[in-house]
Amino acid sequence: MAGILKEEIVLIEDEKEGSRLYNKGYYGIPQSGGGLKLNLMEALYLLESGRIEIENADGEVNFNDLLGYASRKLAAFEIYYTVYRDMRQRGYIVLAGSPPFDFRILPRGGSPTKTPTKYWLSTFSERAVFDLDGIIAITARAEELRKKLLIAIVDEEGDLTYYEAKLAKPEGKGNPHPKREVEGFFSEDRVAVTDSESITSLTENGFFGKNIGPYLQLSLIESAYLMEKGVCRIINLSTGRAMSLNELMKVAGEIQIDFPLRLAVYRDLKEKGVITKTGFKYGTHFRAYEGDPERYHARYLVHCFEPGYKGLWPEISRAVRLAHGVRKEILFARVGDDIEYLKLMRRRP
C-alpha cells in the first residue's frame, strides 16, 4: 500500500496498513476513521527501510525524490534525519519534540501513551555556532521537566557525537580561606610567602599556593581572593610599599585581560569549598578538587565565559574529549549575576 505525499506529510489511507506501522514502532499519528499521518522524516525512514511506498500526483516517489523534496521544504532536514535515523536504528522510539527540543526519545520497547520520555534531544551541525546561553537555557528547561537532555552533533561526514548536558553544582570539603592575616611579597606576576606560620595557615586552610623550596608561591588570583577576604597583606618588592587590592587588580588585569572573569569563578568555587588550581597544563582555566589535592584527583576542569559567549562546536568537542581522556569532567562556567556551570559528557545512547 502506497502512502500519498501531500505538502509536509505522507498519508497512509489504508486502515490496516496504518495500524500495522503504528503498532510496530509508533510511527505517525493515527487518524479518525482509520489511516495514519506520517511526517517527512518518518516517511523517509520507512521508505528507506522498504516498509512503505510513496506516490504523489506524478507517480512513484523514490528515496532521492523524497529526500530532495523534504530538504527543500524543511531547513537542515538532512541533519535532523541523520539523528532520527540513528536513534531509530538503535531501537528507540523517536517522536517529534516541542520547542526548544527537536525530538522526544522513548526507551526501547516503550509506548507513547504509557512510557515516560527517556531523553529530550537537540540536534546541531558541527558547523553550527555553540551558543552557551542557548545551551544553558535548554538544559535548564529539560531539568525543569525532570528529563535528561541529549545533544547530538552531526559532523561533515555524517558521523554522530552525543553529549548529555547538565547544570552542575560543584561542592567541596575545603575551607574557603585562613582566619589569620598572612603577608606576601609581590614580584612581576606572582606573590611569595616566606613566613613559616603563614605558609602553614595557607596550606592547611584552603590549600593555597605551591611550595617552592623554602617559600610558598601564590598566584595572582589566589592573592586577590585572599586580599578580598581581608586576610592577606602584600608588599610590592619594587617599591617596598603595601599594595591595595585595586593596585593588584590593575596589575593582574594588565597581565591577564580576563582576570576579573577568572577571579569571579575562582571566588565562587572557593566559597563552595572546592579547591581550585590553575588548569593551564590541561588547556583550561582551572582544575578543581573536592578535597585535599594530595589525597584526591581533580574532579573538574573549569573554563570561564562571559554571558553571550558564542563559539564553535569543534572547540567544545576538544575540551570534552580532553577532560574525558584525563578522567575529569568539564564545566563551562558562565559569569553573570550568578555563576552557572554547564557540564557536557560524551554519551553512547
- Asked if 247 and 238 touch (Cβ cutoff 8 Å), the reply is no
The H or E element that residue 4 is part of is: strand 2-6
Is 289 designated active site? yes
- Three-class HEC string of 255-271: HCCCHHHHHHHHHHHHH
Q: Which three-class secondary structure state does DSSP give residue 22? A: helix
Q: Which residue among 6, 16, 250, 297 is the active-site one?
A: 297
Q: Which residue among 289, 300, 303, 343 is the active-site one?
A: 289
Q: Which residue among 118, 177, 303, 328 is the active-site one?
A: 328
Is 272 designated active site? no
Q: Which of 201, 199, 260 is nearest to 228 (CA)?
A: 260
Is 324 designated active site? no
**What sections of the chain are H helices per DSSP?**
15-23, 40-48, 63-73, 77-89, 132-144, 196-204, 220-228, 245-255, 259-271, 313-325
- Asked if 49 and 41 touch (Cβ cutoff 8 Å), the reply is no
The H or E element that residue 165 is part of is: strand 160-168
Q: Which three cell numbers stand for residue 296?
A: 584526591
d(CA 103, CA 151) in angstroms, rounded, equals 10
- Convert 157-172 to b/e letters by CB count within 10 Å (16 or more is b): eeeebbbbbbebebeb
- The catalytic site residues sit at 289, 297, 328
